[in-house]
Each structure stands twice: as C-alpha cells, then as structure tokens.
Structure 1
C-alpha cells in the first residue's frame, strides 16, 4: 500500500503528463464567425482610475454618462476591480471622450485606452494619460511647429499642437497635447538654445492635471504616500515639484449671459 506521502506526488505527475500530451486541434470550419453587430471593439475604450481600491460603479456610470452626453449612448461594464469597458455606438461619441481626456470621478482621474484589435480588454495596459501642456517662456523666434513637436517629444509623446497657437499677435504660451507615461515623473522644464547662444529655460504647466507628488513628480499619489519618504532620511527629502506646475483652469465666459 502506497504511503500518504508518495501518492499525491504520483497523481500530480500523471495530471501534468496528461496536460502536456492532450489538447484540442480546431479546424478552420469549426471556428464561428465573429458577429460584431452587438460588440464592435473599434468603438470601445478600456479604462481604470488612478487610485487604489474599489469605487461605486453605478454612481460612476451616472457621472460619466452625464459628463460625456453620448448622442448614441454608451454601455459600461466592470471587467475587474478598477478596470472597465466603455462601448460606444458612434465614432463621434468615442472621439469626443478621447479628445476631452482627462476625466474625473470623485477626484480620481480616469486613464483610458482605445482597443486596437479584437483582443481581451483585461490584458490592455493602462499606463499613459493624454494631457494639454502649456509651454511658457518660449522666445518668439522659437514658436514654430517643429520646435513645439520637439519639446513635446521631450515631455512625453507628442500628439498635436493647439490650432490657436499661431493665431493673433501675441501669446503668453503655446499649448501642445502630450501622452504622458505614468511610470515616469512629470517634466518641469527644458533647456533650449540656438547655435552657440546661451541656454534658456522653458517651463511647463499641465492643464486640468490630476494629483501628482511634489517629491517624485509622479501622477497618482501625494507626498505623504511617496515611496521616497520610506527610502530616505527625512532631512534628505526635497520637493523639486510644486503647485506652480498646474495651469489655471481655462474657463469660457459668455458676456451676454444674464
């Protein structure tokens, strides 16, 4: 009679052998055609909120639907803890949401990514965020599309330049839309010069930006939760980032309103 210590090992070996040797070979004719009349991955976004823990899903649905106001509606599904699928039914609606990012719920910023193929949405990485960035202190001669694109590449991944950048006689700053890597600190400023002239600094302000740490510069937590506070002595902790990196909210006013 086998001892209780050896029997489980033999069973485990058999099950592994069967897994390695078995399998299901599927023929081309056995695969069902994908009917995307109800589910069109081209009109889907996957998102998560930059904050730990769960949230009130029904309340989040109502809030985002009220903010987005999709003309053809939107279906929201909770895929996992803090991971969601947003299915739209018209290109205009999904583009409006993408262009209007970032969106917030209960002061938590929503990170979204458009599905690029008919894949498992749970496996999509959500580590980037699109933001409008103001480029300040740029000399007049440097206010060109080519230089703005290069500056955008330094901040993150350049997406577009504001159409109003080159309208009018004088502008205090240029606006560019950038894809930010959430694993990296925000950029504060950049050195720039022409030829052998002296270096000058251009500074960056982030519009409608989410919470970020003044110690490490990363989006998603405040200083009291920064990992560096647990790695360095208190006297060595510095805050090279600050509130000055936030651009004032851009408000549109109607002088004819009562």
Structure 2
C-alpha cells in the first residue's frame, strides 16, 4: 500500500511537470504476460552495487568473486561504475550466492538484489543489507528462537533465526540474519532485564566490510568520518573509540562496554560519577535535565 501511494504521488508529480508536453497517446499498454523463458532468465540474474564506489581492478574483482562464490558459471556485466549484473547458469546458484552473503571486495560491501521482471535496473534499493549477527552473553537457559528474534529486532527486520550447537555439546548459541539500514551506525549490544538481574548482551557481526571506529557506520574509515573529525576521535592518541574490531564475529573478546559491565575493566572516578542506573529514554531532553 505504501509503495502504491508513493507511486501515485510520483505519477502525479510527473504529470504536473510534463504539463502540455504529453497527452494520452504517450501512454503505452504492454499486453500479455512475461514468457517463462524470460522469467527464468530474471531468476538467474542478480544486480550488485558497491555501497561505496571504489576504483577497482575489474579482472581481479571477477576472479575473487568466482573464488568466493565457488562457481565459474556466471557472467558479469558493468551497468555503470560500481553497478553490475551477474547472470548465472542456474537459478539454484543465483539463490545460493544471494542468500549466503554479505559479500565484499577489498573491504568494500557489495549489495546484491534479485532481478525482478517488472523493475527497472535503476529502481532497486541498495540502502540496506542482510547480515548474520551473533548474540554474546545470553545465558544458556534463555537461548530460544523467540528470545533471539526479540534481540535481533532491536537491529532491524529479522529475516531468519538459527540456533547452533557449540562443538559436540547440546549447548546452543543463537544468531539471526537481520536487515540493517546502512545509513545507521552499527549497534554494540543491548541491556536485558531478567526477573532478578540485568545482563549485557553483545552483537557481533559476520563478514563485516570496513567501517568507521568513530561513528560506527559502514562505508568509510575514521580518517574520513564527516560526523566526528579524526583529530577529535582520540584514535591518534590511542584513546578508546565508540567502535572497534570487537564488532566482528571473528573477534572473541568482549567490547570495552562488556568488560566494564562484567567488571573486567576498571572505571575511572569520573566515569563512576556519571553512569546512570539505566539508559536514558529517547524521549528525555538531556539538555533540560
């Protein structure tokens, strides 16, 4: 419904803008259905756009993608700088690549979209990407599909939830595939209220491309951050930043926030004085309190 309303508004704006430059004969009706062959071709095609627009070696890019995707059975065409179409020999291979991401090249995030028969190539939304997120610190007794889904919902739309055994034991850990809006900073974790205590649960992201340690957003380094100038980030002086390598799933250690919460890192007297018992509500105007 929202898309239909948006389309109607754009159509009305187009009619107003065109004014007398067009009339009823400029409207074309396309009769008939799309052929099964063309539908299959669309299902075997993915569009890919880099979130940033890197200057890349095209041959090296194709070679790495063939190795990462474990297939030689696709062709790549450049639609414009940083924007590509990938045509696979089978729908199964296209879907496998689409659903086992995210993918990147030299740290640059490559966002993939399924080709849709009635969508122009420049109309795809590349402002989000699905990432697998692990939840560290959740007690064994609380690991369930419902709990993982609730935690994951704090990050974005939940696409899929998995419970995985750790080693050969019955102990399971949870992770979720979450649709992240790329304009938002990565979240580190959440405070969880249990019946008799509070715990800190950390988010760790699989296959993260490069991101900013200052603002926490994907797509640039702290040296290029527009929100927090590098000279003000403290990174030059090796001071702690908002984010760090500990957001990556491969890094096993807790974040500085987790270390503080679980007593593995000492607080300075200044920090102790300003730590609130609970996080401030988003509705509270901190300048007036």
- Normalised to the residue count of structure 2, the TM-score between the two structures is 0.68
Correspondence list, 1:237-248, <5 A: 239-248=241-250
- Spell out, residue by residue over 1:152-209, the C-alpha distance to the aligned partner (whole angstroms, 9 max, x if none): 11122212223525883334x42222221101111101111234x3321101111221
Query: Are 1:142 and 2:125 counterparts?
Result: no
Quote the residue 1:210 is aligned against: 209
The 1:25/1:114 distance shift into structure 2, 3 A limit, reads closer
**Matched-pair contact (CA < 8 Å) for 1:158–1:177:** yes
**Cα–Cα, structure 1 residues 146 and 59, in superposed 2: closer, same or farther, change >3 Å?**
same
In 2, the alpha carbon distance for the partners of 1:32 and 1:123 equals 23
Query: 1: CA distance between counterparts of 2:102 and 2:28?
Result: 43
The whole-number CA distance in structure 1 between the counterparts of 2:27 and 2:129 is 41
Deviation at residue 26 of structure 1 after TM alignment: 3.9
- Secondary structure of the equivalent of 1:208? coil
Residues 187-206 of structure 1 aligned to structure 2 (within 5 Å): 187-195=187-195, 197-206=196-205
Cα pair 1:46 1:83 within 8 Å, conserved:
yes
Unmatched runs of 5 consecutive residues or more in structure 2: 1-17, 253-289
Question: Which residue of structure 2 lines up, in the alignment, with residue 58 of structure 1?
Answer: 59
Judge which range, 157-166 or 96-105, deviates more. Answer: 157-166
SS at structure 2 position matched to 1:164: strand
Contact 2:51 2:126 in 1 (8 A): no
Write the distance in 1 (CA, Å) between the matches of 2:81 and 2:224: 21
2:232 alignment counterpart: 234
Q: Which moved more, 1:202-211 or 1:42-51?
A: 42-51
Deviation of 1:227 (Å)? 0.9
Structure 1 ranges of 4+ moved more than 6 A: 235-238
Q: Mark the CA change 1:35 to 1:61 in structure 2 (over 3 Å): closer, same or farther.
A: farther
2 CA distance for matches of 1:95 and 1:21?
Answer: 42
Q: Secondary structure at the match of 2:133?
A: strand
Asked if the contact 1:189/1:201 (under 8 Å) is kept, the reply is yes
| Cα distance in 2 between the residues matched to 1:117 and 1:38 | 8
CA contact (8 A) 2:189 2:200 kept: yes
Q: How do 1:144-159 residues align onto structure 2 when only pairs under 5 Å count? A: 144-159=144-159
Aligned-partner Cα distance in 1 for 2:251–2:93: 24
CA deviation digits over 1:100-123, x for unaligned, max 9? 212222332211122344211222
Q: Deviations over 1:100-155 (max 9, x none)?
A: 21222233221112234421122211112222211011012211110001111112
Aligned in 2, Cα 1:27/1:225: closer, same or farther, shift over 3 Å? closer
Q: CA RMSD in A?
A: 3.0
**What is aligned with 2:171?**
170
Flag the structure with more relative contact order, 1 or 2, with Cα contacts below 8 A and sequence separation at least 6: 1
- Offset of 1:236 from its aligned partner? 8.7
Normalised to the residue count of structure 1, the TM-score between the two structures is: 0.76
Give the number of equivalent residue pairs: 229
For residues 219 and 19 of structure 2, what CA distance do their matches in structure 1 show?
Answer: 46
Tell me how far apart the structure 1 counterparts of residues 106 and 152 of structure 2 sit (CA, whole Å). Answer: 30
- Residue of structure 2 in register with 1:6 after alignment: none
Q: Which of the two has greater helix per residue?
A: 2
Partner Cα separation in structure 2 for residue 17 and residue 50 of structure 1: 36
User: What corresponds to 2:105 in structure 1?
Assistant: 105
Judged with a 3 Å threshold, the aligned counterparts in structure 2 of structure 1 residues 45 and 27 are, in CA distance, closer, same or farther, namely closer
